[in-house]
Amino acid sequence: MTTQLDNQISSIPTWLTIQQYEQNITENTREVYNYWYLGLALLLEGREEEAQITWMTPFLEFGEEESEQSLQQLTEILLNAAQQQEANSNYQIAWVVRQHIREFVPDDINNLLKITELNIDLKIHDQETNINQLIKTISQLTETPVFDENLLVKVIEKLVHPDPVSPPPFIDKLVEAFIPYLLTSETIIKLLTEKSDAYHYFFYQHMAICFAKIALRLEPNNLECIRKIISPLQRLGLNYTKESISWANKYLEISQEPIDQIVGTQFLLEALLTSCDSWEKTVQAYQKYKLFLSNLVITRIESESLVQILAIGAFLLYMEDNPQENRLIRNKIAALCQELISKKFPEYISTYQQRFHSPRPSLSERPLRIGYLSGCFRTHSVGFLAWWLLKYHNRQQFDIHLYSLSEVSEDPQQQAYKNEFGDHFYQGYLPIVTIADQINQDEIDILVDLDSLTSYGNCAIVALKPAPIQVTWLGYDATGFPNVDYFIADNYVLPESAQDYYTEKIWRLPQNYIGIDGFTVGTPTISRESLNIPDDGIIYFSSQTGVKRNLHNIRLQMQIIKQVPNSYFLLKSHRSNHQDLQDFISPIAEAEGVDLNCLRFLPSAPLDTEHRANLAIADIVLDTYPYNGATTTLETLWMGIPLVTRVGEQFAARNSYTMMMNVGVTEGLAWSDEEYVEWGVTLGKDEKLRQQIAWKLRLSRQTSPLWNAKKFAREMEKAYQQMWQRYIDNQG
């Protein structure tokens, strides 16, 4: 009957409804539904006083038992009406209806929450007053309330959204009021953490942190909640990274399982390095990190929690140049994780394998289908470097598909990718099996992972092996998964012995593993005058993330500055507060006898084009070790600036080496710490040598394979064809 009359209300003009119900009441005074709907019709017409009188009439005329039943009927009708108005976006009318529900049932928590939400949407009055009334109602309850936890989360979300950095205190009071009724509910913790994940993915980090902190209050030792606080803090960078140190330490205090200790130590290492905190603490954290990883591969723990460390291992590259040992650790971790994924998703892997065993097309039958997998098809080093290869691909011979794990945004580089590849640009933050299925359904022949150890998602997808051939290019280093077939390198970036400690077959391109057409350079925002550096001063420059700052390497840099008269050192760290960098560097400089007046600490430039323009002020750039520059080295060489780099053994310690060899410059290549200092001093004192190198670098723009992206694309395509032919031959 309620549904029928609801439909009647929505389809008949109000005046006719009022007239009809008044007639019905005259004919049958004891049918209460007529009073309820007449009152509702009057209310919808704005005649509130008449509506209230109409509703009160049956209560005054019927007995107490009947009144209780009638009240329930009335509130149900009003609730249906409110929900109908909300569905039609008539929020003001819905708010009025709910106020009357509140009069009849003042302790209906769902109704009070909905009124709060409508208050926020309509900006009706002070939210604090309304929240305090809600809290008061909750505190006076004698029975456990029944309420919609989704609605509570939505209200909290709308209250927090205007200022997630410093949310109003009354939000904490609201959460506290509900805590006694939430402590046993896994549902709301799941709701809150899912909200945190969503905001983190879409770069609303403060909202992500806020929801994770609320969830943590419900379960104070919940490691998942703490992880969801640390990750956004570290994504925000600067001073927030320092805050993440205390959270990482809390995580480690609570952790009992080896996997959790590894994750916690990874968080701590990233925070300490990025914020340029105590080097002693960093070394201690690294020693524990490596020990935890080593013990894990020895004990071969098989646990669902292994998925948390799919992409673990990057800090082995930052802290030491020891691939013979560290690559083996990473390889064993990857093998363990792959075993876990095989057991977790056997049906998917079996489906993919069945396709691989079907007859494969030859190179003459159809274009090779190449899939590129990355979370960085946007303004990012990987997004920029990959663009050149993808731009110059021969679309007649190669069918290119891009699988983006990044959020949809207005980012110009992302828009360029979308425009270039159209419906072959597949984007979505989806379960890994969904993306793997898409890759498999697209019948990708060769899947190229661009992110490697920078991406959990990429690692999980390649572990499922949705394509018959899988390749790693760019990223930090190879992932170590046994089912990744090739790692793209060249004859310089990895020594000949490297195959001994890689599970992937190292595929060496004939000249260089990267090729671009160059950079766009903007307008400089710094000058010698603005930095108080004389015209004849020798300017050394270093621009790297905090994680690449290594105490031993900094000492060598200070020895160079000390030995070159009238020299100045400009330092800049992306994602690190430049004051933190200064606090870290200055004591090292003083210990090495360097005058602090020689140092200049620069904030990050807001635009890449501005950063490159500012590079022009440098006479020499000093590279980092054991993790060299990559994009920063390319920028340095493009700008025609001499570079001093320490060449090591691991991939990350040879990026600058291969790039310099490919532009024909060997001056500045150091094979020991002593040579690093010698080259730094020599280049600082020998202006003529600097000019010769700068001239070589300018000429290289026309001759070097490093600056010929089209030629590089042909070399990569040749490699793909050879990989596929080898696969076909082995299948036969």
Mean pLDDT of 426-447: 91
Task: Give dist(CA 604, CA 607) in Å, integer.
Answer: 9
**In terms of pLDDT, which residue wins out, 473 or 579?**
473
Q: What pLDDT is stored for residue 7 in this prediction?
A: 46
What DSSP state is assigned to residue 189? H
Q: What pLDDT is stored for residue 301 in this prediction?
A: 75
Q: What pLDDT is stored for residue 63 in this prediction?
A: 66
Among 9-13, 481-485, 568-572, the range scoring the smallest mean pLDDT is 9-13
pLDDT in tens, 276-285: 999 999 999 9
Q: What pLDDT is stored for residue 66 in this prediction?
A: 64
Most confident range (mean pLDDT) of 115-124, 295-304, 423-432 is 115-124
pLDDT in tens, 496-512: 999 999 999 999 999 99
What's the CATH architecture for 346-509? Answer: 3-Layer(aba) Sandwich (3.40)
Pick from 285, 297, 291, 307: nearest CA to 329: 297
Q: What pLDDT is stored for residue 183 in this prediction?
A: 76
626 upstream amide cis, omega within 30 of 0: yes
In 275-345, alpha helices (H)? 279-299, 314-319, 323-344
- Whether residue 3 is predicted with pLDDT greater than 90 in this model: the reply is no
- Whether residue 126 is predicted with pLDDT greater than 90 in this model: the reply is no
What DSSP state is assigned to residue 462? H
- Whether residue 124 is predicted with pLDDT greater than 90 in this model: the reply is no
- Whether residue 14 is predicted with pLDDT greater than 70 in this model: the reply is no
Q: What pLDDT is stored for residue 8 in this prediction?
A: 40
- Cα 333 to Cα 176, 215, 616, 723: the distances in Å are 42, 31, 43, 26
- Whether residue 399 is predicted with pLDDT greater than 90 in this model: the reply is yes
Burial 180-215 (b: 16+ CB within 10 A, else e): ebbeeeeebbebbbebbbebbeeebbbbbbbbbbbb
What's the CATH architecture for 538-707? Answer: 3-Layer(aba) Sandwich (3.40)
| Tally of CA atoms within 13 A in the half-sphere of 416 that contains its CB | 14
**In terms of pLDDT, which residue wins out, 483 or 125?**
483
| Contact between residue 684 and residue 540 where contact means Cβ atoms under 8 Å apart | yes
Mean pLDDT of 164-183: 89
Among 93-97, 167-171, 464-468, the range scoring the smallest mean pLDDT is 167-171
pLDDT in tens, 47-99: 999 999 999 888 887 765 667 788 888 999 999 999 999 999 999 999 999 99
Domain edges within the chain:
258-344, 346-509, 538-707
Task: Give dist(CA 640, CA 191) in Å, integer.
Answer: 53
Q: What pLDDT is stored for residue 5 in this prediction?
A: 39
- Whether residue 13 is predicted with pLDDT greater than 70 in this model: the reply is no
The answer to whether 346-509 and 538-707 have equal CATH topology is yes
Distance of CA 542 to the CA centre of its chain: 26
Query: What secondary structure does DSSP assign to 165-188, as a single string?
Result: SS--HHHHHHHHHHGGGTTT-HHH
What DSSP state is assigned to residue 601? E
Mean pLDDT of 179-190: 86
Phi, psi of 174 (to 5 degrees): -65, -45
Distance of CA 389 to the CA centre of its chain: 24
Mean pLDDT of 701-710: 96
Mean pLDDT of 624-629: 96
pLDDT band, residue 2 (cuts 50/70/90): very low
Q: What pLDDT is stored for residue 606 in this prediction?
A: 86
Mean pLDDT of 583-593: 95
Mean pLDDT of 215-227: 94
Helix axes 239-254, 258-274, angle to 10 degrees: 160
What DSSP state is assigned to residue 427? E
Mean pLDDT of 410-437: 90
Mean pLDDT of 424-441: 89
Among 197-201, 396-400, 427-431, 672-676, the range scoring the smallest mean pLDDT is 427-431
Q: What pLDDT is stored for residue 355 in this prediction?
A: 85
- Residue 170 CB burial class (10 angstroms; 0-12, 13-18, ≥19): middle
Helix axes 205-218, 223-236, angle to 10 degrees: 160
Residue type, 670: A
Across all residues in the chain, what is the average pLDDT? 92
pLDDT in tens, 307-359: 889 999 989 999 999 999 999 999 999 999 999 999 999 999 999 998 887 77
Is-above-0.85 flag for pTM? yes
**In terms of pLDDT, which residue wins out, 341 or 575?**
341
- Which percentage of the chain shows pLDDT scores above 90? 75
